Amino acid sequence: MLAFQKGSELSFQELVERNHGRVIGLIYRFISDSSDAEDLAQEVFLRIYRARKTYKPTAKFSTWMFRITANVSLNALRSRANRRDDVSIDQMSDFGDGPRAMPDPDSSLPDVRLHQRELQEKVQEAIRALPEKQQVAVILNKYEGMSYADIARTIGCTTMAVKSLLARARDNLKDRLLLYIQTGRGRQPVS
């Protein structure tokens, strides 16, 4: 990043190549749409390019990049809040090869695979339903493996606030997923 700040276009290309997959994976965790994730990743790198002079080397580049990525993702979610898109089963595994991705179903039994994909979809829906800061904290912690301190720097709060956000998110997710896990039916009435 420092070489890019000094004007090296080649350094920017390397930066994009090195981080492209992680940025797309993170965006996908927010929006669950692979083609939109590609478009938004371009927006993220465009913002990084435009804001290169504001980057301070005292912070980790990845923290700065993740903050930009989270902001772009949340802005996209806000702009399409009125037109809720459903997630197809095929989309759930589009980015399943990341280092912290949810496990892809291994079983050869169709019912087990279907149940695992349904569970993945329910988890993603539950995460997307969290308040924004909780959503960002969960995604950065569980899928990107970021420490509490890095998350705090990314979202602009204290480490204790991150712990609190994650605890509340865990409770919210448990409440949302408990019925589905117990019955396999989600919020449908039990007959």
pLDDT of residue 99: 42
Of 118-127, 162-171, 176-185, which one has max mean pLDDT?
Answer: 162-171
Q: What is the mean pLDDT of the chain?
A: 79
Whether 102 is covered by a domain: the verdict is no
The residue with greater pLDDT, 80 or 90, is: 80
**Residue 140 and residue 80 share a domain:** no
CATH number of the domain to which 159 belongs? 1.10.10.10
**Residue 71 and residue 153 share a domain:** no
Whether 95 is covered by a domain: the verdict is no
**Residue 139 and residue 190 share a domain:** yes
d(CA 101, CA 110): 21
Amino acid at 42: Q
User: Taking the C-alpha atoms of 79, 84, 86 and 90 in order, what is their torsion angle to the nearest 10 degrees?
Assistant: 0
pLDDT of residue 80: 72
- Could you count the other beta carbons within 10 Å of the beta carbon of residue 21? 14
Q: For 127-165, how does the pLDDT look when each residue is reduced to its tens digit (9 = 90+)?
A: 988 999 999 999 999 988 889 999 998 888 999 999 999
**Residue 122 and residue 181 share a domain:** yes
Whether 99 is covered by a domain: the verdict is no
| Structural domain boundaries enclosing 115 | 109-191
Report the greatest alpha carbon distance in the chain.
66
Predicted confidence (pLDDT) at residue 3 exceeds the cutoff of 80: no
Count of domains forming the chain: 2
Whether 50 is covered by a domain: the verdict is yes
- The structure tokens 């089963």 sit at 89
Whether 189 is covered by a domain: the verdict is yes
Predicted confidence (pLDDT) at residue 49 exceeds the cutoff of 50: yes
Q: Which two tokens stand for residue 160?
A: 């204790």
Whether 100 is covered by a domain: the verdict is no
Predicted confidence (pLDDT) at residue 117 exceeds the cutoff of 50: yes
**Residue 157 and residue 123 share a domain:** yes
d(CA 77, CA 140): 17
**Residue 81 and residue 133 share a domain:** no
**Residue 39 and residue 81 share a domain:** yes
**Residue 154 and residue 79 share a domain:** no
**Residue 42 and residue 75 share a domain:** yes
Whether 103 is covered by a domain: the verdict is no
Is the Cβ–Cβ distance between 33 and 84 less than 8 Å? no
Is the Cβ–Cβ distance between 16 and 37 less than 8 Å? no
For residue 28, report the phi and psi dihedrals to the nearest 5 degrees: -60, -35
**Residue 133 and residue 70 share a domain:** no
CATH number of the domain to which 14 belongs? 1.10.1740.10
The residue with greater pLDDT, 117 or 24, is: 24
pLDDT of residue 14: 92
Instruction: Please choose, from the candidates 3, 153, 155, the residue with its C-alpha nearest in 3D space to the C-alpha of residue 70.
Output: 155
